[in-house]
Structure 1
Amino acid sequence: MAHEANSSPGAQSRAQGRIEAALEEQKRSFLRMVSHELRTPLNSILGFSEILTAELYGPLGSPQYKEYAEIIHASGQKLLKLVNQVLEIARLEGRTIDFDSAHEALEPALDDVLTGLKPELTARGVTVEVDGRGALPTVTADSRGLRSVLTQLVHNAVAFSPEGGCIHVSAERVDDAVDIHIRDEGEGVDPAELQRLMAPFEQGENALTRKAEGAGLGLPIADLTCKAMGGRLKLTSAEGEGLTATVRLPAG
């Protein structure tokens, strides 16, 4: 009788739940370990190369040494960004990120993103026009997740924009959801390539990695984050007509 009770559907379901919980915790522990092991040496590389670049403890001698230190520091920053993106995708795909959804005002989130991306916008002379300022809708989303999605998409629009171009941002309520549109004035993308842009670790070059430095992981991160928050990301484009990213999130 005891054996039959232990093998009941309820007992099996609880056992399966415990196994899945243990596996999730193993994933989290592994990602924490990998994150620590990768970031620790990178922090040393960045810190010491910055000290050398600033010649904090005295001149290095040959000007080439300072130039090499600057190259090391810049390379370390690029590598740290890539590591962070890869770990972010691993967390999202492994569902090891806990999102706490609440009502989030879109305008302050967008302001935070534009402030953070000001150096990139200034470097390319790109401006951002936000339609309906003062009356943008509220969404239901995780605060950090919302800002991550907007950052990835605006950064992507900067990469696709011509120098001196303009990025257009708008939002509208659609039934019980809010659609956020981010459109650049770039050359556009062949519609056949759009799906590849959102595929993590797609082999070979795609339209984004040809236009900008980096591995082109921003759009996959935005896509996975949208899904984790109960939303979706859609790309539309045609050659010569720019690229539009549309985020749909539950209304607040």
Structure 2
Amino acid sequence: MGLEIESRPSELPYIERVWRSRSDGVGRMTSVAAPHWELVFWEHRGEVRAAVLGPEPVACPAPVPEDATFFGISFALGTSMPHLPIGPLVGAVAEIPDVTRRSVRLKGSAWHPPDYDNAEAFVRRMVREGIVDRDPLVPAVLDGAAPGVSERTLQRRFLAATGLTRGAVRQIHRAREAAVLLQEGVPVQEVVHRVGYYDQPHLARSLTRYIGRTATRLSAPDGAEPLSLLYKPSTPETA
């Protein structure tokens, strides 16, 4: 019992990760900080719903409907929906109305809802129809490329595409990587050194803010209040 989560990466540059989950006997989780926005579908007691979830700047508790199934597409950094500005969505949810098992309306058009296996085809159509766009500067800089623009322009484009500053994205990535290492049993001092924290108190503050757990609690999973999807960031920029 608990929150069973399965996820996979994607070769499509617009997608960070595809995931699905099922809740069983759990009413609340800790939603860890995440710089990505998501398109999420869920079914509970025969009712199908969908929403756009904005980036999560800090960890926070979140209710989980019992005996529900979820499916989500986490979009890559730099990917956005021009008709739905990302700024107001940071830490927020925009529910999509009138969703059924066979239909979801996006920007005025009816679509068949995606699933875990055809998420890429769904997003390719979103790109073709101009619902999703991508600023190539954001992933390029995160991968270590020289920006080729002023720092002011870079920050402006980061905010427009992600809703977050470059520094905030780096801090979230670093905390997530540290949390995964601790879950894998890596000693705290080694995590401090490997991920680039100043010292153990610096790590502790970061974990509390972005993961909602101490290092000790990460080493002993909490079935009563599980974590949301947590994995190592795909970009190397964590320092």
Higher strand share: 2
Same fold at TM > 0.5: no
Query: How would you bin the TM-score normalised by the shorter chain?
Result: under 0.3
Structure with larger RCO (C-alpha < 8 A, sep 6+)? 2
Higher helix share: 1
Bigger CA radius of gyration: 1
TM-score calculated relative to the size of structure 1: 0.22
